[in-house]
Amino acid sequence: MSAPPAAPANEVVPLRWRDDHLALLDQTLLPAEERWLEIRDPEPLAAAIRRLAVRGAPAIGVAAAYGVALALATGPDEESAARFAAAHDLLLATRPTAVNLRWALDRQRAVFARHAGAPRATLFARLVEEARAIEAEDRAACRAMGSHGAALFGTGERLLTHCNAGALATAGFGTAVGVIRAAWEAGKVERVWVDETRPLLQGARLTAWELGRLGIPHRLVTDSSVGALMARGLVTGVVVGADRIAANGDTANKIGTYTVAVLAARHGVPFYVAAPRSTFDLGLPTGAGIPIEERRGEEVTHLGGRPVAAPGTEGFNLAFDVTPAELIAAIVTETGVLRPPFGPALAAAV
């Protein structure tokens, strides 16, 4: 199942539409192996999202948009509505925190409604067209965030990032890593600190891999090193991505982000969030309403499939946390850099 996509040299992309199927780079195998999965049905896509073969809020949204189209790749016309609804509900239930998933599926539902009653083949074509648009818009949004975000920095920056908010987590280029990349291309970055990001090591496995391909100088650190690095004055700024941003600016992101934000406040280090508007959930007044995914305890008690705790030890595995808006210096989005108070700034941006 390996179909290397045609992509510009060195540009990482996590997925490619291939006429009749979705090619997905299996992120669980990185950096050891670059294996592409051929996804032809919503069910294997749902399984791939659940096991994080494709992950990162915007990338999940793009993948799901193709997933509902795949539900109508074959089948009798009269089953289209039922097949679409089943795929929609299946994909929506895969991961609760990243609101980009619901946002992309809402867009596809509107497309389906606009063409209700059309032959299956027409619906398939329209849904693929919309998924392509969502993918292209996300890539453009990331580039725009890069330009806006790079302007935040001076020279000789030593920026820290948590998890992977890079090209792999989006349609390409990345959010937080896109901002760091654009700043580095502008000659402003001396070094990137990469948190390993326990338990699933998205920082170690994915962000370090992306930065290495781009030739951006970086050092990998344990999550628990952040305070010590800041105390030594070795971090000049933090840039992270987001899975959902509430109306007041409270931001859900990978577990450990909140800890980094508290440490950044303690040490006077600016803490920035980069996210497209598809990550905003202005229907939620504060972060208290953001659903937080709880994953299997085995992801904590085991490392790379091997137990690291005594047999019988139970893990508790919150996959995300919420950083209160008051700890965030700015939110970089595709329309510009938003500053506190975030309530009016976020509302104006949409």
Q: Tell me how far CA of residue 242 lies from CA of 33, 117, 341, in angstroms.
A: 27, 37, 18
Q: Which residue, 19, 31, 6, 25, is CA-closest to 210? A: 31
- In the complex with ligand MRU, which residue's Cβ is closer, 112 or 193? 193
Strand ranges, E, within the chain: 15-18, 21-25, 36-39, 157-161, 189-195, 218-221, 237-240, 244-246, 251-254, 271-274, 280-281, 294-295, 302-303, 306-307, 317-318, 320-323, 330-333, 336-338
Residue 99 near residue 281 (C-beta atoms within 8 A): yes
Q: How far is the CB of 94 from ligand MRU (least distance, A)?
A: 11
Q: What is the 3-state secondary structure (H, E, C) of 227-249?
A: HHHHHCCCCCEEEECCCEEECCC
Q: Which residues contact 339 (CB under 8 A, 6 or more apart)?
A: 329, 330, 345
- In the complex with ligand MRU, which residue's Cβ is closer, 175 or 323? 175
113-152 footprint of ligand MRU as x/- string (CB under 6 A): ----------------------------------------
Count, residues in the chain: 350
Among 130, 135, 243, 321, binds ligand MRU (CB under 6 A): 243
Spatial separation of the C-alpha atoms in residues 156 and 41, rounded to whole Å: 47
199-228 footprint of ligand MRU as x/- string (CB under 6 A): ---x--------------------------
Q: How far is the CB of 287 from ligand MRU (least distance, A)?
A: 14
Q: How far is the CB of 304 from ligand MRU (least distance, A)?
A: 16
- In the complex with ligand MRU, which residue's Cβ is closer, 124 or 196? 196
Task: State the residue for tokens 């895969």.
Answer: 94
- In the complex with ligand MRU, which residue's Cβ is closer, 42 or 56? 56
Q: Which of 26, 243, 250, 281 is catalytic?
A: 243
Is 169 a binding residue for ligand MRU by CB under 6 A? The answer is yes
Q: How far is the CB of 250 from ligand MRU (least distance, A)?
A: 15
Fill in the amino acid letter for 104: A
Among 72, 165, 216, 346, binds ligand MRU (CB under 6 A): 165
- At 30, list the tokens: 């990185």
- In the complex with ligand MRU, which residue's Cβ is closer, 241 or 287? 241
- In the complex with ligand MRU, which residue's Cβ is closer, 62 or 230? 62
Is 242 a binding residue for ligand MRU by CB under 6 A? The answer is yes
Q: How far is the CB of 171 from ligand MRU (least distance, A)?
A: 10
- In the complex with ligand MRU, which residue's Cβ is closer, 288 or 318? 318
Among 134, 319, 329, 337, binds ligand MRU (CB under 6 A): 319
Is 332 a binding residue for ligand MRU by CB under 6 A? The answer is no
- Considering only the stretches 16-24, 105-113, 235-243, 305-313, report the one whose residues sit in contact with ligand MRU under the rule CB under 6 A: 235-243
Residue 237 near residue 269 (C-beta atoms within 8 A): yes
44-73 footprint of ligand MRU as x/- string (CB under 6 A): --------x--xxxx---------------
Residue 246 φ/ψ, nearest 5 degrees: -75, 170
**Would residue 243 show up in a list of annotated catalytic residues for this protein?**
yes
Q: Which residue, 227, 225, 222, is CA-closest to 201? A: 222
Spatial separation of the C-alpha atoms in residues 5 and 134, rounded to whole Å: 19
Q: How many CA atoms lie within 13 A of 237 on its CB side?
A: 26
Is 172 a binding residue for ligand MRU by CB under 6 A? The answer is no
Size of residue set near ligand MRU by CB under 6 A: 18
- Strands 251-254, 271-274: parallel, antiparallel or unpaired by DSSP? unpaired
Spatial separation of the C-alpha atoms in residues 91 and 189, rounded to whole Å: 38
Could you give the residue numbers annotated as active site? 243
Residues forming contacts to ligand MRU in the complex (CB under 6 A) are 52, 55-58, 98, 163, 165, 169-170, 175, 202, 241-243, 253-254, 319
